[in-house]
């Protein structure tokens, strides 16, 4: 089943509606992250796309990701619970819920406005070249997974 398009305003509005259901005390249904950590974690791929985070996995890890994990990351199968997290995505500090919430929403809107064609021209730091559909699947299923983790 195809994921909703991150390039459409209606999908952005639906993600915002779900994000706005969170509060600073929202509990996780699984995993170890607080809601502030989760919001910061979800911002990482957007930061990488926009060039504000250039943390790249080591060459060996990039090879493993592209050869063995890429397909499962960009396909239309939801992520399973409690999968390992890439080191550059791990969040253990305390994060301000309200700042992280607005930051993530701004990133989502920025990528939606960037559009499919421009996003497809932007390689992933971990996975290399991705089509517009692959980017859509990667970004949507990641945020959907973590919003579901917090019950929204």
Q: Is residue 98 part of a domain?
A: yes
pLDDT tens string 25-65: 999 999 999 999 999 999 999 999 999 998 888 888 888 88
Residue 107: CATH number of its domain: 1.20.120
Q: How far apart are CA 152 and CA 144, in angstroms?
A: 9
pLDDT number for residue 58: 86
The whole-model pTM stands at 0.94
Count up the domains in the chain and report the number. Answer: 1
- How many residues would you count in the chain? 152
Q: Is residue 2 part of a domain?
A: no
Give the pLDDT mean for 86-114: 95
Q: Are 54 and 105 in contact (CB under 8 A)?
A: no
Q: How far is CA 53 from CA 18, 48, 146, in A?
A: 25, 5, 20
Q: Is residue 3 part of a domain?
A: no
Give the pLDDT mean for 82-100: 92
Q: Is residue 91 part of a domain?
A: yes
pLDDT number for residue 146: 98
CA-wise closest residue to 65 among 117, 126, 17, 110: 126
Q: Is residue 132 part of a domain?
A: yes
Q: How far is CA 36 from the centre of its chain?
A: 14
pLDDT number for residue 61: 86
Give the pLDDT mean for 97-122: 98
Q: Which domain holds residue 28?
A: 9-149
Q: Is residue 44 part of a domain?
A: yes
Q: Is residue 60 part of a domain?
A: yes
Structure tokens at 38: 């989760």
Torsions phi, psi for 27 (to 5 deg): -85, 150
């Amino acid at each position: 089943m195809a994921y909703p398009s991150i390039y459409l305003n209606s999908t952005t509005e639906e993600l915002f509606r779900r994000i706005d259901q969170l509060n600073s005390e929202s509990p996780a249904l699984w995993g170890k992250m607080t809601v502030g950590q989760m919001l910061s974690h979800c911002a990482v791929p957007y930061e990488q796309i926009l060039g504000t985070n250039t943390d790249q996995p080591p060459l060996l890890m990039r090879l493993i990701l592209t050869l063995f994990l890429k397909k499962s990351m960009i396909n239309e199968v939801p992520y399973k619970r409690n999968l390992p997290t890439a080191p550059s995505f791990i969040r253990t500090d305390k994060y301000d819920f309200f700042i992280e919430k607005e930051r993530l929403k701004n990133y989502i809107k920025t990528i939606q406005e960037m559009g499919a064609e421009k996003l497809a021209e932007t390689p992933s730091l971990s996975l290399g070249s991705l089509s517009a559909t692959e980017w859509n699947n990667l970004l949507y299923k990641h945020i959907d997974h973590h919003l579901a983790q917090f019950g929204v």
